[in-house]
């Protein structure tokens, strides 16, 4: 790609060499560091779209990524900078695409369904990453397949990395009220506008949705109808009949998707659950 077609200016430290994805407010490009030759991902957020609220989210994203960068299950940030048109975050390039691609998108059509063992491995890394964030007082509030990156460059099993902290909340222990997130993953209490909610328990719900998709290859709730939340339990899709999942996984799923946040486990309680502990690679909890 020539600089003319690039979102990054010609005199930028990074030269755009491709595109990686996009979200509600951003485009993420593949770029090469002109000084070191290293390939990175650069998230570009249009400055015109930075209305006051949004500006706050971006500031938080930069700050949190910097503070949480040391963990292998969280994408690491290199630096943030401004161009005349965009606010940019240069970060570690993760090569394998999103978990959405792997389990619901094109990748899922090209490969056999995940084994339960692989599903558990990916889930273990998600929970270890989220637990790390929660212990540092940060909740993500937008846990979903599109915000989880699969690093397939590693020798054995792929690694999972949480990206996109734009909706994160740094004082995660104080009550939240803002309705943020993505319809198919929204916890019931977030949808009830006026209610204060516990942002960490919202992440437990989101991780429960991810676990359901990892196990069953489909979303548990209809994404287009946020009003279904009044009838959540009844409307959860029945799992495909040909998929054998053990009772421990089903039990964990049921408590993570409990309607009442107080009945949901904490990340630590998920880690302590026997289904989570089974097959846990030595050292995984101290990554
Ligand atoms: P938004 O806040 O707009 O949702 P994200 O941070 O989720 O933006 O990034 C949008 C998409 O870009 C992701 O879903 C993913 O496909 C891709 N992406 C983001 N960060 C990286 C990265 N570090 N490496 C590779 N691809 C990435
Ligand atoms: Mg995103």
- Note the pLDDT tens digit of each residue in 105-149: 998 899 888 899 999 999 999 999 999 999 999 999 999 999 999
142 is catalytic: yes
pLDDT at residue 88 greater than cutoff 60: yes
- Give the residue-averaged pLDDT of 232-242: 72
pLDDT at residue 10 greater than cutoff 80: no
- Considering every ligand atom, which ligand is closest to the CA of 24? 1
Structure tokens at 114: 């995940």
Cα–Cα dist 182/250, whole Å: 24
User: What 3-state class would DSSP assign to 199?
Assistant: helix
Model confidence at 174, pLDDT cuts 50, 70, 90, reads confident
Cα–Cα dist 175/152, whole Å: 37
Taking the centre of ligand 2 as the mean of its atom positions, its distance from the CA of residue 284, in whole angstroms, is: 26
ipTM (interface predicted TM): 0.99
Cα–Cα dist 7/10, whole Å: 9
- Give the residue-averaged pLDDT of 55-80: 81
Structure tokens at 50: 């930075």
pLDDT at 162 (0 to 100): 96
Q: Which atom of ligand 1 is nearest to the CA of 91?
A: 23
Taking the centre of ligand 1 as the mean of its atom positions, its distance from the CA of residue 206, in whole angstroms, is: 18
Ligand 1 pocket, CB under 6 A: 20-26, 28, 41, 43, 75, 91-94, 98, 146-147, 149, 163-164, 166
Taking the centre of ligand 1 as the mean of its atom positions, its distance from the CA of residue 2, in whole angstroms, is: 22
List all residues 6 or more positions away from 242 whose beta carbon is below 8 Å from its beta carbon: none
Please choose from 7, 23, 86 the residue to mutate so as to test ligand 1's pocket, defined by most ligand atoms within 8 A of CB: 23
- Give the residue-averaged pLDDT of 60-75: 82
Nearby residues for ligand 2 (ion, Cβ within 5 Å): 23, 147, 164
Cα–Cα dist 90/81, whole Å: 8
- Note the pLDDT tens digit of each residue in 160-171: 999 998 888 878
Cα–Cα dist 99/153, whole Å: 15
- Give the residue-averaged pLDDT of 96-111: 92
Whole-Å CA distances, 227 to 106, 120, 221, 260: 29, 31, 11, 17
Model confidence at 194, pLDDT cuts 50, 70, 90, reads low
Q: Which residues are annotated as a binding site for ATP?
A: 43
pLDDT at residue 287 greater than cutoff 90: no
Whole-structure pTM value: 0.91
- Give the residue-averaged pLDDT of 247-274: 96
Tell me which of 197 and 60 has the higher pLDDT: 197
At 191, which helix (H) or strand (E)? helix 188-191
Tell me which of 10 and 1 has the higher pLDDT: 10
- Give the residue-averaged pLDDT of 228-245: 70
6: how many CB neighbours lie within 10 A of its CB? Answer: 16
- Considering every ligand atom, which ligand is closest to the CA of 161? 1
Tell me which of 3, 53, 142, 233 is the catalytic residue. 142
- Give the residue-averaged pLDDT of 147-155: 85
Model confidence at 281, pLDDT cuts 50, 70, 90, reads confident
Supply the mean pLDDT for the chain: 86
- Considering every ligand atom, which ligand is closest to the CA of 146? 1
DSSP class of 85: S
Pairing label, strands 148-151, 14-22: unpaired
CA angle in degrees (0–180, nearest 5) for 39-44-47:
155
């Amino acid at each position: 790609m020539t600089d003319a077609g690039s979102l990054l200016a010609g005199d930028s430290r990074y030269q755009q060499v491709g595109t990686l994805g996009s979200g509600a407010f951003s485009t993420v490009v593949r770029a090469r560091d002109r000084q070191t030759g290293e390939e990175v991902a650069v998230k570009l957020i249009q400055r015109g779209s930075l209305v006051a609220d949004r500006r706050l989210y971006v500031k938080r994203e930069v700050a949190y990524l910097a503070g949480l960068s040391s963990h292998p299950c969280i994408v690491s940030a290199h630096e943030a900078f401004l161009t005349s048109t965009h606010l940019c975050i240069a970060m570690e390039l993760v090569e394998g695409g999103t978990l959405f691609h792997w389990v619901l998108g094109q990748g899922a059509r090209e490969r056999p369904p995940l084994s339960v063992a692989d599903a558990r491995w990916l889930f273990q890394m998600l929970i270890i990453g989220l637990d790390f964030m929660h212990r540092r007082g940060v909740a993500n509030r937008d846990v979903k397949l599109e915000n989880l990156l699969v690093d397939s460059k590693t020798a054995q099993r792929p690694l999972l990395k949480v990206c996109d902290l734009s909706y994160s909340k740094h004082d995660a222990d104080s009550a939240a009220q803002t309705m943020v997130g993505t319809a198919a993953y929204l916890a019931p209490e977030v949808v009830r506008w006026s209610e204060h909610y516990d942002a960490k328990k919202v992440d437990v719900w989101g991780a429960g949705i991810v676990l359901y998709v990892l196990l069953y290859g489909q979303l548990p709730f209809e994404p287009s109808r946020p009003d279904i939340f009044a009838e959540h339990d009844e409307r959860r899709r029945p799992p495909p009949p040909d998929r054998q999942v053990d009772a421990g996984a089903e039990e964990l799923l049921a408590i993570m998707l409990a309607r009442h946040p107080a009945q949901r486990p904490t990340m630590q309680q998920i880690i302590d659950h026997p289904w989570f502990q089974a097959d846990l690679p030595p050292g995984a909890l101290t990554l």
